[in-house]
Amino acid sequence: MTDKYTAFVSRGWGRDLAKRLGLPQPVALRRYAADERLPGPALVVGSGPSAQALADALEGWGVEVRRDGADDGGASPEAGSDGARRPKLGAIILVLDDVEGPEGLSAPVLAAGRALRSLAACGRVVTVSRRASAADEPSLAAARQGVEGILRSLAKELRSGSTANGILLAEGVGADAPSVLGALRFLLSGRSAFVDGQFLTVGTDGGALPLDPDRPLAGKVAVVTGAARGIGASIARTLGRDGAKVVAVDVPAAGESLARVANEVHGTALQLDITRTDAGERILEHAVGRHGRLDIVVHNAGITRDKLLANMDAAKWDSVIAVNIAAQLRINDALLASDHFGDGAHIVSVSSTSGIAGNRGQTNYAASKAGVVGMVRSTAARLAARGGTVNAVAPGFIETEMTAKIPFATREVARRLNSLQQGGLPVDVAEAIAFLASDAAGGISGNVLRVCGQNLVGQ
């Protein structure tokens, strides 16, 4: 699971060689730490009330804020008024929610562009804009949709572990809504290290920011399926670190490692094959019986049984559908039928970039993972009626036991084919899930967040 190439090109003659040959030079990403800070001040570009609201919020979090009204004719953010050199910027927040037509993009976007050379390594660019809708006037829709093109291209231009992501506001949602601020905080932090070139849509003013940003899940009870190893174990650890009481679920055959993970996070283990018809009821019974409530369910358990479709048999096809999507649908039905899973409940499901872009030999897997996307979109309204949310994350190339088995040359290509030029870690998927499972994301539902370093496939 070690990425020897990254180690080789990060120092000495390996670094010089990679530079000379124009080879990828991935850097160690900035990941979450309790005392984590942005690597420099945040520049807020934009002059409207939303830009002011976001600047105020950043200052409230202790971030040093610079302002650029985008009409100063191009002052360099590297030099202060006294000509002294300023520290590199940790982030650029580009506020575009008041843009009315494509021509209006020019001043703020070019102002952000002028600041890019001052962005520190592992810095962040975040756009805040309105979601385009079919009801918009054509020129308004063009400007709003244009932001997506800008952001996705800009993310491909950044280097040194920096990322660019966007927050889309639905009509009527203010820039100071809790989930806008929650999303901004997530995207600026090391929790979003491997999220790049993506958008989070805030659909409502719902949600609440945590009292303690380092323990956003304090008091919550969370179930994680497939928690005995890999990404699931990392999700259990991350939710536990964020304050949740974790119920770790996996098949009885994985009992020993399941118990180890559950003990490590001071949670409980539930040996359960999620394809059992009563799996949802068993999960509710355990969570409510042992911990008094159930707030979060993470559908992570998944299997692959790859074959070209011409060689696919029913056993391979059916088992993948059964574990990866049919079980989730049945468990969700049980959760939604229960009074114990209502107000403020969050479901997060693990999809895959294979379900979005397709993958040779994975028609069954891609059917199940695209199915997760469909399920999330369709279930969002049902959960909204009870004050809950449902979202998916779609990991790209993640360094796990599964991907370690891919032949060397194929693996090298797969892991470099993204803007960050490296594979993600299980914790990167876990961090995105922990955010979507928190009340700070209460205004975000029906989203599919890719955790793929802006994989070039399917985007």
Active-site amino acid positions: 365
Sole window of 33-41, 191-199, 212-220, 301-309 interacting with ligand NAD (rule: CB under 6 A): 301-309
How many other CB atoms sit within 10 Å of the CB of residue 404? 11
Backbone angles phi, psi at 407, to 5 degrees: -55, 145
Q: Which of 124, 229, 282, 286 binds ligand NAD (CB under 6 A)?
A: 229
In the complex with ligand NAD, the residue whose CB is nearer, 41 or 424, is: 424
In the complex with ligand NAD, the residue whose CB is nearer, 187 or 254, is: 254
Q: Which of 142, 251, 357, 367 binds ligand NAD (CB under 6 A)?
A: 251
By CB under 6 A, tell whether 71 contacts ligand NAD: no
By CB under 6 A, tell whether 250 contacts ligand NAD: yes
By CB under 6 A, tell whether 431 contacts ligand NAD: no
Residues 95-133 as b/e (b if ≥16 CB within 10 A, e otherwise) read bbbbbeeeebbebbbebbbbbbebbbebbbbbbbbbbbe
Q: Which of 401, 405, 407, 409 binds ligand NAD (CB under 6 A)?
A: 401
In the complex with ligand NAD, the residue whose CB is nearer, 352 or 389, is: 352
Q: How far is the CB of 424 from ligand NAD (least distance, A)?
A: 8
By CB under 6 A, tell whether 400 contacts ligand NAD: yes
In the complex with ligand NAD, the residue whose CB is nearer, 47 or 304, is: 304
By CB under 6 A, tell whether 371 contacts ligand NAD: no
By CB under 6 A, tell whether 414 contacts ligand NAD: no
Q: How far is the CB of 403 from ligand NAD (least distance, A)?
A: 5
Give the x/- contact pattern for ligand NAD in 344-363, rule: CB under 6 A.
Answer: ------x-x-----------
Q: How far is the CB of 167 from ligand NAD (least distance, A)?
A: 24
Tell me which residues in 206-225 interact with ligand NAD (CB under 6 A).
225
325 neighbors 275 (Cβ within 8 angstroms):
no
By CB under 6 A, tell whether 402 contacts ligand NAD: yes
Tokens of residue 102, six digits: 């494509």
By CB under 6 A, tell whether 232 contacts ligand NAD: yes
Q: Which of 63, 128, 254, 376 binds ligand NAD (CB under 6 A)?
A: 254
Q: How far is the CB of 294 from ligand NAD (least distance, A)?
A: 17
By CB under 6 A, tell whether 162 contacts ligand NAD: no
Q: How far is the CB of 116 from ligand NAD (least distance, A)?
A: 31
Tell me which residues in 116-155 interact with ligand NAD (CB under 6 A).
none
By CB under 6 A, tell whether 274 contacts ligand NAD: yes
By CB under 6 A, tell whether 453 contacts ligand NAD: no
In the complex with ligand NAD, the residue whose CB is nearer, 177 or 350, is: 350
By CB under 6 A, tell whether 248 contacts ligand NAD: no
How many other CB atoms sit within 10 Å of the CB of residue 84? 7
In the complex with ligand NAD, the residue whose CB is nearer, 123 or 396, is: 396
Interstrand relation of 89-95 and 221-225 (parallel, antiparallel or unpaired): unpaired
Residues 256-278 as b/e (b if ≥16 CB within 10 A, e otherwise) read ebbbebbeebebbbbbbbbeeee
Q: How far is the CB of 251 from ligand NAD (least distance, A)?
A: 5
Q: How far is the CB of 179 from ligand NAD (least distance, A)?
A: 25
In the complex with ligand NAD, the residue whose CB is nearer, 188 or 228, is: 228
By CB under 6 A, tell whether 271 contacts ligand NAD: no
In the complex with ligand NAD, the residue whose CB is nearer, 142 or 406, is: 406
The site for ligand NAD (CB under 6 A) is made up of: 225-226, 228-232, 250-251, 254, 273-275, 300-303, 323, 350, 352, 395, 397-398, 400-403
